[in-house]
């Protein structure tokens, strides 16, 4: 059985994606900072016949992230799909003129060091499987910088560039890298921005294996 590891799993998009992949027979590794939170999600999924376990790790701490991924693979099976979608902290979103060099440390750790550490750690296992998918979930500032959220704009841009390079480098190995851009965030009354709709879109990125970047609502946004 293959596993999807969801870094930044929560009660919205994280559990919706877990359900969607669970229906396809994937086991689910739920990774977040708080063990109690991911344990509760795992119990909820188990009641729906989805095999899931929770693992505590801080996306800004590569060592803890690697340890969680190792535990997940040992407990649940090889990681075929990695979703990287931790929610940015509020302090990452200062206006550009108020953002210092020190203010960029957190966003860069989370949105650049974190995905690099996670991808490099699961890549050997994907190569052994002969297939794999990495899913990067970002807000609109990844492609359209906003001076009101400077730290996130800078860090998401780095994550976006890293993902594009990975997409190009790994295409011949049947390892697909996909980025989903969600303008205006999750929910908000827009049907295609609701967690279940987004989870369906995310599964299609894995199964259809098209271009690197996809926009919710279309590229015009």
Q: Provide the CATH topology of domain 3-215.
A: Rossmann fold (3.40.50)
Separation between Cα atoms, residue 77 and residue 96, nearest integer Å: 43
- In degrees and rounded to multiples of 5, residue 32 shows phi and psi of -155, 175
Statement: residue 221 has pLDDT above 60? no
In whole angstroms, how far apart are CA 216 and each of 31, 120, 127? 24, 27, 30
Q: How confident is the model at residue 90 (pLDDT cuts 50, 70, 90)?
A: confident
Measuring CA to CA, which residue among 139, 152, 174 is closest to residue 107?
Answer: 152
How many Cβ atoms are within 10 Å of 51's Cβ, its own excluded?
A: 18
Q: What pLDDT digit, counting tens, does each position of 51-60 carry?
A: 999 999 999 9
The torsion angle over the Cα atoms of residues 184, 189, 195 and 200, rounded to 10 degrees, is -90
Domains of the chain by residue range: 3-215
Q: What pLDDT digit, counting tens, does each position of 162-203 carry?
A: 999 999 999 999 999 999 999 888 877 788 889 999 999 999
């Amino acid at each position: 059985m293959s596993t999807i590891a969801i870094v930044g799993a929560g009660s919205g998009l994280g559990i919706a994606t877990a359900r969607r992949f669970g229906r396809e027979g994937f086991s689910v590794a739920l990774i977040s900072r708080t063990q109690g939170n991911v344990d509760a999600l795992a119990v909820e999924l188990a009641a729906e016949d989805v095999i899931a376990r929770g693992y505590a790790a801080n996306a800004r701490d590569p060592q803890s992230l690697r340890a969680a991924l190792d535990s997940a693979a040992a407990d649940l099976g090889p990681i075929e799909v990695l979703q990287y979608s931790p929610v940015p902290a509020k302090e990452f979103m200062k206006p550009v003129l108020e953002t210092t060099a020190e203010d960029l440390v957190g966003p860069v750790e989370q949105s650049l060091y974190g995905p690099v550490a996670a991808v490099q750690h699961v890549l050997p296992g994907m190569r052994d499987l002969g297939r794999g998918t990495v899913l990067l979930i970002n807000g609109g500032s990844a492609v359209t910088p906003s001076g009101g959220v400077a730290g996130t704009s800078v860090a998401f841009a780095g994550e976006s560039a890293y993902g594009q390079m990975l997409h190009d480098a790994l295409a011949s190995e049947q390892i697909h890298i996909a980025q989903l851009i969600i303008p205006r965030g999750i929910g908000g009354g827009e049907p295609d921005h609701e967690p279940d709709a987004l989870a369906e879109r995310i599964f299609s990125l894995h199964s259809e294996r098209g271009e690197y970047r996809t926009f919710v609502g279309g590229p015009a946004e």
